[in-house]
Structure 1
Amino acid sequence: MKDVVIRLSPGPCWVTQVELCRKGSDGKFLQYNCNSLHAFVVSSAVLVGMWIGGVFQACLITDRIYSLIYACSIISLLMATVVYLHSCREQTSNEIHRKITGLLRDFSLGKEISPRIAGIDMKQFFMVRIGFMGWGIISICYLLAEIERDGLVSLPMLLVVVFQLLYTVEFFIDEASVLDTREFTDEGIGFLMIQGEYIYIPFCSSTPAFFLLHRPLQISLPAVILICLLYGVGLAIYYFSNVQKDCFRKDPSDPAISSLKTISSPTGQNLLVSGWFGWVRHPNYLGDILMTWAWTLPCGFSNVLPYIPAVFCTIILIRRANENEEACQEKHGEAWQEYCRRVPYQLLPYIY
């Protein structure tokens, strides 16, 4: 795990700005300003304020989704080119060394882990500011567009948008923990990741709201209750397992987790083998999958379109879990094998 230092920076009374310094592969600390929650709240407030004041109409966004996707495709290609050219010009120690290289592979997967241009960490910018903030803003626009058209918001649309906004806000609140994930610390950033943040996260993830705007429907109260329960269970698993993981990483002697069982690894670290991670090996991914399906179910079963993002998300997280396990097997050896023996299920107890 990368060394991490967190400190609070002085700022306005309503802003708590967190600066997280993570030690990069060159041994130097990389500084991040984790203020995405404040940026999202301000952006959303301005958007809604302009809408209430009649300055902005949400349909200007929702009626031009395909044009926006096309424009974002071009922008993502341009930004990927900028990042690639920067990595070719700047020879840094966080450059990725692959067995198989080439222009196309390096352009697609990236040559650097944490490229910085004009003082901006490009990976944090694309993942947080573009991907998740764009997703939240577009979801709000779908809800406002339905109100513009019908004079009110339907219950299915309300469920989808509220569920997705809760997920994105939780992501912003816990932004610092994202900076210590394998995706952030070990993987390069290239065209595929940048395009995913410009297109997949904001547009594909909001497909259920897009579907409901064009094919409105109503659902029964029992269905609403069951969907809310599914989302609540998923959110609880996702949130508390991440809290336990982050707490264990920062301070294994913390009284809140000191009673949990661990396995010693040859690396000098310990593997958590009880609590949420004694239930399944990737409880946070399980919670993520449950929430994704919960905000898709309000769309009913008349069309497969709103379910495509949920299927993709499930496949991606299963693949990521397998990749993480391969990396852990290589890193921890017999300790990881023992962990898998004691916690045999990856995502679903007694099933998978």
Structure 2
Amino acid sequence: MVQKGSIWYLLHYHIIPPVFIVFFIIIAQYLAIVGQGQTFTWELALSNYLGDATSWKWTSLFVLWSIIWLKVPSKIVQGPESHFGAIPNYKTNGVQYYWATLVTFFFLQALYPNTSRTIYMHFPKIIGVFNAYALILCIWLLIKGRLKPECPEDPEERKSLIFDFYKGVELHPHIFGEDVKQLTNCRIGMMGWEVILCAFYMTGVEQHGFITSSLVHLLLQSVYIAKFFWWEVGYFHTLDMMMDRAGFYLCWGTLVLIPSLFTFSAAYTVLHPPTISAWISILIGIIGLVCILLTYRVDYEKQIFRASPNYECNIWGKTATYIPAEFKDSTGKIRKSALLTSGFWGIGRHINYTFELGTSAAFGACLGFDFGIWNFLYFFFILILVFHRLYRDEEKCKNKYGRFWEKYCKEVPYVMIPGLW
């Protein structure tokens, strides 16, 4: 708990949020401009923030498309109950949405061959429009959360106006009748990443012809994104959905930072074709694919464990073992839970993050090392994010489970690298 009146309290709630807001708004536009080989200037950046008719049209159509797909009748699943008793509902048509969007994109590409190049040439302005949409959404979420929250019983104390804008007020707000975080994270952000990757790849092929490493890069990230939609129900049980409120940090990040940062290496290779050997790139791609599959396997083990009645299931061909645990909910009621000690969860408390880092490293390495840090911006971002989440995970579990978590840490002493750390 941060002590009110302390320097850390001042930094955490009043200084860091506005600094981060300004910094990341600028850096997103910087990446979009530099990725096209242009020199960043404030005049150019300000012009891009306003967008143009083409960027507003494409971005608005994509946002509308994403909203419509959440309106398509689909199976409803419940997410985990929040600490104040709210149980969110989510749509489960992510796989259908993913493939329908890809088919539509390539249909448009066939019908209008300049589609990919148009997206590439207008990309900084597209990021500017996404930024405008995201800021409007965050302002609306702040006002709505403060004046008319959907769950008034949420006991979290308001810290400051700027902090509420940055971190968000409500945990599960809705817009157009749909969950805000599912719309921004699971639909617009993740699928926008895929569409932009495809557009940049097609532009690169048009510019330089076929390059194996560029295709490996596209396919590897596409498998990663497709895996996300396949595993979407599991994502509803992550920190993003369970603990992070809908505000600038999460919603702006998925609407703007994912399209600008996560696609940067693809944009960069349009003007700087990779020269890495095809076979080395393929080998790195295979390593990345293995990391993606292992990440999925780790998450799947926990998913089937949670879904099994009385936690009775087999993992690695053996009956799953676990530590029975208890925790108090927000009402003071004792609830029962379990901490899995079988499979991957028995050899590392956060080994899923190890494979995630391996995947992100492969994204950059499959394009080669000729361009220094540029191909690895995504890796360094994920590296920082992983260690931040690692700290949050450990603190959350320690506070929630207490002595049961201490027992789990003794039984599973390694964090990410078995035998080392």
The verdict on a shared fold, with TM-score over 0.5 as the criterion, is: yes
Give the aligned partner of residue 4 of structure 1. none
Give the aligned partner of residue 279 of structure 1. 347
The CA deviation at 1:291 is 0.8
Give the aligned partner of residue 368 of structure 2. 300
- The aligned amino acid for 2:104 is V
Q: 1:326 aligns with which of 395, 404, 407?
A: 395
Give the aligned partner of residue 64 of structure 1. 122
Is the aligned partner of 1:261 residue 2:321?
yes
- The aligned amino acid for 2:397 is C
Give the aligned partner of residue 289 of structure 2. 232
Q: Which secondary structure state, in structure 2, belongs to the residue aligned with residue 209 of structure 1?
A: helix
Mapped partners of 2:171, 2:377: distance in 1: 30
Give the aligned partner of residue 18 of structure 1. 75
- The aligned amino acid for 1:110 is G
Asked if 2 retains the 8 angstrom alpha-carbon contact of 1:94 and 1:113, the reply is: no
Give the aligned partner of residue 338 of structure 2. 270
Asked if 1 retains the 8 angstrom alpha-carbon contact of 2:207 and 2:270, the reply is: no
The CA deviation at 1:245 is 0.7
CA 1:261–1:16 in structure 2 vs 1: closer, same or farther (change >3 Å)? farther
Is the aligned partner of 1:93 residue 2:159?
no
Mapped partners of 1:181, 1:226: distance in 2: 31
Give the aligned partner of residue 174 of structure 2. 116
When structure 1 is superposed on structure 2, of 337-346 and 76-85 the one drifting more is: 337-346
Q: Please provide the CA RMSD for this pair.
A: 2.2
Give the aligned partner of residue 6 of structure 1. none
- The aligned amino acid for 2:205 is I
Asked if 1 retains the 8 angstrom alpha-carbon contact of 2:168 and 2:246, the reply is: yes
Q: 2:276 aligns with which of 187, 198, 219?
A: 219
Give the aligned partner of residue 92 of structure 2. 34
- The aligned amino acid for 1:238 is T
The CA deviation at 1:319 is 1.2
Mapped partners of 2:89, 2:296: distance in 1: 25
Give the aligned partner of residue 340 of structure 1. 409
For structure 1, which runs of at least 5 residues remain unmatched after alignment? 1-14
The CA deviation at 1:183 is 2.0
Higher helix proportion (structure 1 or 2): 2
For structure 2, which runs of at least 5 residues remain unmatched after alignment? 1-71, 328-335
Asked if 1 retains the 8 angstrom alpha-carbon contact of 2:86 and 2:151, the reply is: no
Alignment of 1:55-204 (within 5 A): 56-93=114-151, 97-99=155-157, 101-150=159-208, 152-204=209-261
Q: Which secondary structure state, in structure 1, belongs to the residue aligned with residue 246 of structure 2?
A: coil
The CA deviation at 1:119 is 0.8
When structure 1 is superposed on structure 2, of 319-328 and 36-45 the one drifting more is: 36-45
CA 1:193–1:342 in structure 2 vs 1: closer, same or farther (change >3 Å)? same
- The aligned amino acid for 1:207 is F
Asked if 1 retains the 8 angstrom alpha-carbon contact of 2:315 and 2:342, the reply is: no
Q: 1:316 aligns with which of 371, 385, 389?
A: 385
Mapped partners of 1:245, 1:235: distance in 2: 16
TM-score under structure 2 length normalisation: 0.75
Write the deviation string for residues 278-307 of structure 1: whole angstroms up to 9, x where unpaired: 121112222211111111102322321221
The CA deviation at 1:122 is 0.6
The CA deviation at 1:203 is 2.0
Write the deviation string for residues 120-147 of structure 1: whole angstroms up to 9, x where unpaired: 1111100011110100000010111112
The CA deviation at 1:28 is 5.7
Write the deviation string for residues 233-265 of structure 1: whole angstroms up to 9, x where unpaired: 311220110110101111111345761221122
Give the aligned partner of residue 60 of structure 2. none
CA 1:280–1:94 in structure 2 vs 1: closer, same or farther (change >3 Å)? farther
When structure 1 is superposed on structure 2, of 214-223 and 188-197 the one drifting more is: 214-223
CA 1:323–1:64 in structure 2 vs 1: closer, same or farther (change >3 Å)? same
- The aligned amino acid for 1:254 is C
TM-score under structure 1 length normalisation: 0.89
CA 1:265–1:46 in structure 2 vs 1: closer, same or farther (change >3 Å)? same
Q: 1:46 aligns with which of 87, 104, 110?
A: 104
Q: Which secondary structure state, in structure 1, belongs to the residue aligned with residue 115 of structure 2?
A: coil
Is the aligned partner of 1:208 residue 2:265?
yes
The CA deviation at 1:348 is 1.6
Give the aligned partner of residue 359 of structure 2. 291
Query: How many residue pairs are counted as aligned between the two chains?
Result: 337
- The aligned amino acid for 1:244 is E
Asked if 2 retains the 8 angstrom alpha-carbon contact of 1:57 and 1:145, the reply is: no
Q: Which secondary structure state, in structure 2, belongs to the residue aligned with residue 269 of structure 1?
A: strand
Write the deviation string for residues 155-191 of structure 1: whole angstroms up to 9, x where unpaired: 1111111111111111111111111223212221111
- The aligned amino acid for 1:292 is S
Write the deviation string for residues 21-77 of structure 1: whole angstroms up to 9, x where unpaired: 236446464322121221221121111112122354211111222222222222211
The CA deviation at 1:104 is 0.7
Give the aligned partner of residue 246 of structure 1. 303
When structure 1 is superposed on structure 2, of 244-253 and 338-347 the one drifting more is: 338-347
The CA deviation at 1:117 is 2.3
Mapped partners of 1:215, 1:86: distance in 2: 45
Asked if 2 retains the 8 angstrom alpha-carbon contact of 1:37 and 1:172, the reply is: yes
When structure 1 is superposed on structure 2, of 58-67 and 22-31 the one drifting more is: 22-31
